[in-house]
Amino acid sequence: MTGRILVVDDVATNRIVMKVKLAAACYSVLQADCGEAALRLARSERPDLILLDVMMPDMSGVSVCERLKSDPETADIPVILITALSDSDSKVDGLKRGADDYLTKPVDEVTLLARVRSLLRSSEIQRELRLREDSYAGLGFAEPTTGFDCPGKVALVAPDAATGMAWKRALGPVVGNPLEVLPREHALQTRVQAAPDLFVIAADLATRNEGLRLLSDLRSRPASRHAAVLMILPQGDTERGAVALDLGAGDILYDPFDIGELAVRIEMQLKRKSQSDRLRASVEAGLELAVTDSLTGLHNRRYALRRLDRMMMAPGRGVAVMMLDLDHFKSVNDSFGHAAGDHVLAAVAKRLRNQLRPQDLLARLGGEEFLVAVQDVGSETALDCAERLRRAVGEAPITGPGLDLPIPVTMSVGLAMTHTHGETAEVLLQRADQALYGSKHEGRNQVTVSASAA
């Protein structure tokens, strides 16, 4: 089964009909005949989605929805309200009070299943992001994310400029977000920093289905991949409505539409987009912290060893690995203090980075030890690189705020080159480490090449 759905309706026949439709689509179905039973099952069974009839004897479906959304245990479960009331005021009221969607009886099966697929997909993404965020928080990697409180930008992509301006004029008084009428060709040219948060797109633009093709294009481009999309379709066009939802539209609405309902649906989509962006940024920050050394900003040992394994498998002339260690660093801490020692490590990391290409690997392994890996180079080029790094570190004392005196530092380097196709990263690191020991033994501040590097 692909998901568990709770069907809530006081009429047994309605529940049975809904169960048959959902079971045919491979969903597992739970049933409740009143609001109180729905609340109990929602808490105990945690369904993936709830189909909730509005008119019930003990309490209205809207009241049940409010209670579900106010309970932290059930707040994240998507709710679709189902009712015989087709007026816009009822829809707007249901959406404002927490419903994720609103369907009118008799429910079209194609629309129902498309809405269910869309909401389950969105809910699963949110759940996965939250799990990852919680995991990073548990490991101590979580950081507060900021910058998500600005009003979301809305782009209106209409069949023509006059219709776009009419949408904008109507929405202006009821939507507190920047609105822009955007021609189709400009929608695909937005940069990541300037991309709208929500596209409201007509299914038919200059030609039939051009809006659906635009939706597909937006989902494939980095700048607009995570933007919300609300598709406007001709009245009764349920087949293409289902296609739009399956292509990634977050919501659909049929023209002619009530401007108040469109405004509420825009607000809902922007809220979901903001939540997803916040979660995604938190996860990305956690990932970055998980593989980054906080003092120097370089990658840490965990990342470096995995990256080196991948570099070893790539085609080319081979990989040069350098183990670098600051000489007499303990005396720096003893003489100048640990704060000065931290400043030295950060300054050395910057000097090393300035000598390397963006694709080269530079990591802090711990303490005063660093790792450099350079891909697809010969032995002569690798040796020149190692000498350049050594000189960059030792050519001038470290200075900066908080340092009473310039601190002279030097660095010893051990270099090893891959020389057999099946050699592992572990063996290469061992040879580079042995070469580093040779540099220390021979007087420090020099480069030693592994004896088996030829």
Kindly name the residue from 261, 368, 369, 426 that is annotated as catalytic: 368
Note if the bond before 256 is cis, omega within 30 degrees: yes
| Phi-psi domain of 325 (left: phi exceeds 0; alpha: psi -120 through 50; beta: other) | beta
CA 387 to chain centre: 40
Contact 76, 44 (CB under 8 A): no
Residue 194 makes CB contacts below 8 A (sequence gap 6+) with none
Report the C-alpha gap between 239 and 221 in whole angstroms.
25
Contact 298, 348 (CB under 8 A): no
SS3 at position 254: strand
Residue 322 makes CB contacts below 8 A (sequence gap 6+) with 371, 372, 373, 374, 382, 385, 386, 389, 413, 414, 415, 416, 432
Report the C-alpha gap between 253 and 185 in whole angstroms.
23
Report the C-alpha gap between 23 and 26 in whole angstroms.
5
Contact 363, 298 (CB under 8 A): yes
Q: What amino acid occupies position 291?
A: V
Contact 200, 156 (CB under 8 A): yes
SS3 at position 292: strand
- Indicate if 380 belongs to the active site: no
| Vertex 21 angle, CA 29 and 213, to 5° | 110
**What tokens does 265 get?**
């649906």
CA 88 to chain centre: 35
Report the C-alpha gap between 62 and 84 in whole angstroms.
13
Biggest CA pair distance of the chain: 90
Closest CA to 299 of 366, 224, 385: 366
Enzyme catalytic residues: 368
